[in-house]
Amino acid sequence: AQTVTQSQPEMSVQEAETVTLSCTYDTSESDYYLFWYKQPPSRQMILVIRQEAYKQQNATENRFSVNFQKAAKSFSLKISDSQLGDAAMYFCAYNFGNEKLTFGTGTRLTIIP
Amino acid sequence: EAQVTQNPRYLITVTGKKLTVTCSQNMNHEYMSWYRQDPGLGLRQIYYSMNVEVTDKGDVPEGYKVSRKEKRNFPLILESPSPNQTSLYFCASSRVGRTDTQYFGPGTRLTVL
């Protein structure tokens, strides 16, 4: 069974600095999708970034980028120039086919002004 | 506006009193799913549906029922709620196809006393 592990329950970063959230996963598949979701205090699930496993190039979305290491089954999220609005719970998720998303346990990110 | 709606957003009930949480999407998506979110556990899938009249169990289906009589609606039914079903519930939908990302509803906070 696929599993997703986020080993950092909590992280903090100074405003304007860079922070990296870690995620590892376990799968026997070769073609799949990985996601980072943000959950602010409003509890809404917001897609931050997605990565297709067949693509070697790391995905980027403005200040958000990933470091996808397929052989190591690692999928970290880097947030550059952290802003107060980035404070949230971040979930890493895996998807193979469309049956479900398998989520990690989340990392709570605090931004220090 | 493309969206997934859930009702109610908040619900406090007592053990054994049947309840239904509704979920509706306006994007003509075939796939719909229910997740529950618990601290330290991330989101776990309860049930999913690939199309009308097609439903299947996720990882934590015990104590829940679903139905899919219309494409746009996917209600979650708790026939006899128990305190261990106190949780935050999310409905999600997407088109069938691996490149799609799931759209999440705003969440329903359920407390069973």
For position A99, what pLDDT does the model report? 64
For position A31, what pLDDT does the model report? 87
Task: Kindly state the average pLDDT of the residues A32-41.
Answer: 95
d(CA B77, CA B22): 9
pLDDT digits (tens, 9 = 90+) for B41-96: 999 999 999 999 999 999 999 999 999 999 999 999 999 999 999 999 999 998 88
Q: How far apart are the CA of B41 and the nearest CA of chain A, in angstroms?
A: 5
From the candidates A31, A92, A100, which should be mutated to test the interface with B, based on the most B CB atoms within 10 A?
A100
d(CA A53, CA A103): 17
Task: Kindly state the average pLDDT of the residues B20-48.
Answer: 95
Task: Kindly state the average pLDDT of the residues A33-49.
Answer: 95
CA dihedral A37, B27, B20, A94 (to 10 degrees): -30
d(CA A59, CA A113): 28
Q: Does the pLDDT of residue B100 top 70, yes or no? A: no
Nearest to B98 among A35, A97, A103 (CB): A97
d(CA B59, CA B65): 13
Q: Does the pLDDT of residue B9 top 80, yes or no? A: yes
Supply the mean pLDDT for chain B: 94
For position B98, what pLDDT does the model report? 58
Using a CB-CB cut-off of 8 Å, the residues of chain A touching B31 are 98
Using a CB-CB cut-off of 8 Å, the residues of chain A touching B96 are 98
pLDDT digits (tens, 9 = 90+) for A17-28: 999 999 999 998
pLDDT digits (tens, 9 = 90+) for B71-82: 999 999 999 999
Q: Does the pLDDT of residue B99 top 80, yes or no? A: no
CA A18 to chain centre: 14
CA within 13 Å, CB half, B22 = 9
Confidence of residue A48 (pLDDT cuts 50, 70, 90): very high
Confidence of residue A100 (pLDDT cuts 50, 70, 90): confident
